[in-house]
A and B are shown apart, each in its own frame.
Chain A
Amino acid sequence: MVSRARVAIVGPAEFKDKIMPAFFKKFSTVMYFPSESVKLSVGKKTTAIAGNLDIGTFHYVLLLPKQSKKEFYCTLSAILSKRTKVSAPKDTLLYFWNRPAMLRRISSAGVPIERSASISQDVAFNFIKDNFKFPIVLTTPKGKEIRVNKEETLKDVLSLFSAGHTVSIRKPMKNAEEYVTFVSEKETVGFKVVNDKKLPVKVGSDISSLAQKVRRKFNLDFCSIKFIKKGKKICVRDIKLVPDFEAFFNVSGKDVATVMANEIIHKITVPDISELFEKTITGIGKIIDKAARWVSNEISNLRAFK
């Protein structure tokens, strides 16, 4: 069954072909708006327009934000949230790519995280030298992880960070398994990464329940979470807003775009047209009836007066 709900998707052009086929099957009206095509306006009216279409008039807007354009998506979400349902709220996007803030929030949801330190790039070299033994893993503001085995390479690695940027530091976890999950309200799917190889896996209830806690904490409809598991100990390493569509499909056979489309259908209530028509006719009927009674009363009054 195809839903009459109107769905808009805003993201980089490269995601369009990965997601639209699944959405075309589920929605009679679904449009993909590359982020570069969107114009935001404020002043006379606050709107988000692409072409001549007001994105705020869609029943649901799925955002596929890229970190490099985070300010744009944050502003877009702020505008759209006032008028329609959005997959990621502005309050989440404000902090989402701020790693220390993100980790702290995950921890506050009662979900374990790896121990890490964050410091500004300007002073990172001496701090790391004085407080850590190699090897260490550095995470850039964009979420890229770099393993540093010795002090000699540390300076070179740190020069890749811009001044003032946050450097997150942790120790590598030996013999740990990595799980990459896609989380929606009703489902958690995932695969395992072993020696850089991706393997299909059924996500256990231990990981699934933690994944849902994280998703709810950030108030997201969808997200992708990376877990690290060592023995019985599980912790969150990273969270992304856009899943790796291809990886999930190729490894686990799951089309996460279809999962998204199926869940979005249940998030939207679109009034039935025949129901609307019936209500309108009934309403008009009542008005006519009321008018007729008034006329009849007035005529009676006039006759009585005569």
Chain B
Amino acid sequence: MEDPIIELEGLTKCYGSVKAVDNLYLKIDRGEIFGLLGPNGAGKTTTILMMLGLAEPSAGSARVCGVNATMHPIAVKQKVGYMPDSVGFYDDMTAFENLMYIARLNGIAGEEIEARTRETMELVGLGEEMHKKTSAYSRGMKQRLGLADVLIRDPEVIILDEPTLGIDPSGIKEFLSLIRRLSRQQGLTVLLSSHHLHQVQQVCDRVGIFVNGKLLVEGNIETLSRNLFGEESYVVVITAREALPSSWGPAEELRKLDAVRNVEVKESTIELSCREDITPDIVRFLVEQGMNITGVHKKEYGLDEIYHRYFENNLKNNTANGKFAGLFQRSFFKRSNTQ
């Protein structure tokens, strides 16, 4: 936390009476992969544009690499690579020429350009298709080229706006692991915005959930889920080969365990919610009871759940107070239903 590379302070952007970004405070450390999550129209792109000095904030300030982005956009742009959500290229040029153009704009010296361009193309896995026109590129290839375009100038920070939009699932996986690898190898700070939660979950160190211009929560996924789901955090589902009676004897004994909060028996599955992760103990116990276990599944709360909780509640109650009251209410109801 000593060295925030991106620092937003009270950043606000109004379009007429609509607040697209509302009093945003955010710090991102060097070398971190930060995911900015939110539904469409939440203000993610606006925030990014303000970080790059492409849009003027109505209030507050954005400092990137210690430079005020609104006052000195050029200095920021020299250090930050930005890939817009619908990245476009000059269709009548080949990918190689497109990239060379960007390299020249960034002041890479003449004799280095070609080697550097070739290197970057190979890095993102486009070495084979280097001399094709970009009009013949698929969406996924364009996205890769976009990444190459960001990387060629050797940035300190890369900002990717919806980088996974329109790529097929296997492509996404590859793309994200590429980003993660690059970030780890070169110590890059990555900020990526998305509304796809699973993908973000795979790569991000920390996420911030962004709805209606407000940053609702930030933190790593584990903390977020603990905050949200409290003691329910660990849920283990155990499947047996044969159906179990509803008043199954060992269930009572399981309930007596300290960490176990609740046990639910449904046909051939037992669902346990625990305070701590005691899956091995439970399994050992059940095996001793002579149960034929066919599957043990530890349920982790993913971003999907986190996101839904926040987002649903946000829809129901617009004021901040109402939001949290609603949240508690919901979890309360859920709990009482299960008991």
Question: Do A and B interact?
Answer: no
Instruction: List the interface of chain B (C-beta within 8 A of A).
Output: none
